[in-house]
Homo-oligomer: A and B are copies of this chain.
Amino acid sequence: MSVDTRWLTSEQLATWVRLAAVLELLPATLDSQLRRDAELTHFDYYVLAMLSEAPEHTLRMTALAERTTATLARLSHVVQRLEGRGLLERFPCPEDRRATNARLTEAGWQKVQDSAPGHVAIVREKVIDALSPEQVTQLGEITGAILRRLDPDGDRAAIYQRYSPPGDS
């Protein structure tokens, strides 16, 4: 039997099964809170949140895609819908005529500020407050290690940067 077919030890397996369950349940939980309270998917929220932290509340599509860990195609569809709802607007980038900028509208900025507290509350409740401070540190290191495998070039590792409260200006 080749090395690729090694199975997992029972401890590794127990960990993996739990992780798989978290992968399934946590996004669903976040989505339904935001949908119910703000009519936003978790991904929609992240798009708005990343814009809210950017200078001028503006980012190029490519930069926004990196920060939200999404493909450009997906982002394009989502941005189109958010634009239709008046939460952001697109305009051609002056420096590079291939590029498109996305900018938060006033309504979009308001939406982020309104929905942030509820989102943060559920993240605390389901994740942060479930763990000891040491575990939070451990989880940070563990997810960092996994991300390096998932995304070795760190294209999407712009994400590792700071992230501050919208409205905190």
Interface residues of A (CB under 8 A from B): 4-8, 10-27, 29, 46, 69-70, 117-118, 120-121, 123-128, 130-131, 135-151, 156, 159-160, 162-165, 168
Contact = CB atoms under 8 A, between A and B. Distances in A.
Contacts of A142: 131, 135, 138-139, 142
Contact of A139 (B19, B137, B150, B156): B19
Contacts of A124: 6, 8
A83 to B, nearest CB: 22
A18 B137 contact: no
A160 B14 contact: yes
Please provide the 6 A-B residue pairs with the shortest distance between their CB atoms, ordered closest to farther. A15-B140, A18-B143, A5-B117, A7-B165, A24-B69, A130-B149
